[in-house]
Amino acid sequence: MARKLLLEHINVPQINTLAVYREKGGYRAVEKAIKNMSPEDVVEEVKKSGLRGRGGAGFPTGMKWSFLAKPEGVPRYLVCNADESEPGTFKDRYLMTHIPHALIEGMIVSSYALGAKTSYIYVRGEMMPQIRILERAIEEAKAAGFLGKNILGSGYDLELYVQPGGGAYICGEETALLESLEGKRGNPRIKPPFPAIAGLYNCPTVVNNVESIAAVVPILNIGAEEYAKIGIERSTGTKLISASGNINKPGVYEIELGVPVEEFIYSDEYCGGIANGKRLKAVVAGGSSVPILPANLILKTAKGDNRLMTYESLADGGFATGTMLGSGGFVVFDEDQCIVRNTWNFTRFYHHESCGQCSPCREGTGWMEKVLHRLEHGHGNLSDMDLLVDVSKKIEGNTICPLGDAAAWPVASAIRHFRDEFEWHVTHGEESQTGNYGLAHYADPLEPVI
Ligand SMILES: Cc1cc2nc3c(=O)[nH]c(=O)nc-3n(C[C@H](O)[C@H](O)[C@H](O)COP(=O)(O)O)c2cc1C
């Protein structure tokens, strides 16, 4: 069994309460940090652990913390990004629902490390139950002396607030989130300056994902060196993966980074194989924003090595033959899934969610959706694939925030790997039914890489 650091006690009854969470060792990291460590020690420990941001980009957390500006007399903020709206990603919601104190404890330790006296958890607005769960957990932590004035008699004060999100995917982009938190429309800001210099209310701010912040607790409990021993290369520790699609056991799994993709899909410890005895066709490994890979390339790299669940291995081959770990939203497609229909569906989402500030994204996502719609409904023509690639290239890299890239990559990769399926729609001139159109994109685990 893989080691569990975040979900070890997930099945303990009432682990959502402070009493049971503490019985299982909860709030030891707060005591350790506040009583025995300086804020700089905590930052150093997180740096040494090799923890990388779990929100999608994988930026080293300790390094981000060390960039935080510390001008005299200016407040600093820690903001937790719990907006989680990426299609296929539901790991943060799971953690907040079942073990809210894991996040609250992480927020206290991380705020202490950064010298923040006011911190926020910005939760996707639709997640009202989770907002209530977190608010209750904050009240419990406050009553026990872990929050508020003079925490554990140390002289350190911290107020922690939960802010319901603005109800748009773009509010998960860190600078749009800060705008929204300030009460404005969630439009991304031009960077630089980065939030570490000028963030919330123009003050130095760190924005981190729920899982990144929660991971600081086990890092302090087991020590950075022990944490860094888990995983491979620059992918240290454990990672929550939300697995969905055509698998036998959809759900949230905590993996040790480095588990082979094949094992993750087929073993009973995780996804339990493809549902209904079907064959694997494709995987979106890191939430809807990352390139889709056909079965042969998700199981093995183009060099023929086993693909592993790490930042490096999933990216092996660049976008020509690789993808990204992203947010850990692992969506599995079986042989009956239509790639054109799914790509159209993702693109509809990005078009709807584009904030509209940048023309390439605002207009480009609309055009891509239109072309994909006509392809899917049998009215496309053979030049449409080149047109889509052209539009996607004109969006990529030409927008203020990465939502444009997130919209472009799924389309470009679907055409790169499944062009014949797009052509099928044109030549057959009809809407997709289920069925794999006789195209052999599925692969068995031991099938050689093409
Ligand atoms: C459109 C868009 C939506 C995003 N949504 C989220 C989100 O819901 N949660 C999250 O942690 N990061 C999200 N991100 C990434 C954040 O901008 C940021 O990189 C992240 O919160 C940093 O935290 P980390 O370093 O701990 O990963 C999103 C980015 C974009 C462009």
> According to the model, what pLDDT value does residue 242 have?
97
C-alpha of residue 380 to centroid of ligand 1, in Å: 35
Say how many Å lie between the first and final Cα of the chain, rounded. 33
Q: d(Cα 167, Cα 177) in Å, to the nearest integer?
A: 11
- CA of residue 336 relative to chain centroid, distance: 27
Mutate to test the pocket of ligand 1, among 80, 187, 209, 355 (most ligand atoms within 8 A of CB): 209
CA angle 141, 94, 410 (to 5 degrees): 135
Nearest-CA residue for atom 10 of ligand 1: 55
Residue type at position 204: P
> According to the model, what pLDDT value does residue 438 have?
39
C-alpha of residue 174 to centroid of ligand 1, in Å: 6
C-alpha of residue 170 to centroid of ligand 1, in Å: 9
C-alpha of residue 323 to centroid of ligand 1, in Å: 18
Q: d(Cα 125, Cα 103) in Å, to the nearest integer?
A: 18
Residues with pLDDT less than 50, the chain: 436-450
| Strand 293-294, strand 280-284: pairing | antiparallel
Domains of the chain (ranges; CATH) run 18-229 (3.40.50.11540), 238-334 (3.10.20.600), 339-441 (1.20.1440.230)
> According to the model, what pLDDT value does residue 123 have?
98
C-alpha of residue 153 to centroid of ligand 1, in Å: 35
38 with 185: CB under 8 angstroms? Answer: no
Residue of 147, 144, 156 whose CA lies nearest to 121: 147
Mutate to test the pocket of ligand 1, among 174, 353, 365 (most ligand atoms within 8 A of CB): 174
Q: pLDDT for 188-245, tens place per residue?
A: 999 999 999 999 999 999 999 999 999 999 999 999 999 999 999 899 999 999 999 9
Q: Residues lining ligand 1, judged by CB closer than 6 Å? A: 53-57, 59, 81, 83-86, 169-170, 172-174, 207-209, 212, 401-403, 406
> According to the model, what pLDDT value does residue 447 have?
40
> According to the model, what pLDDT value does residue 437 have?
45
Token digits of residue 336: 């009956």
> According to the model, what pLDDT value does residue 199 have?
98
Shortest-distance atom of ligand 1 to CA 177: 17
This prediction's pTM: 0.95
C-alpha of residue 175 to centroid of ligand 1, in Å: 9
Nearest-CA residue for atom 6 of ligand 1: 172
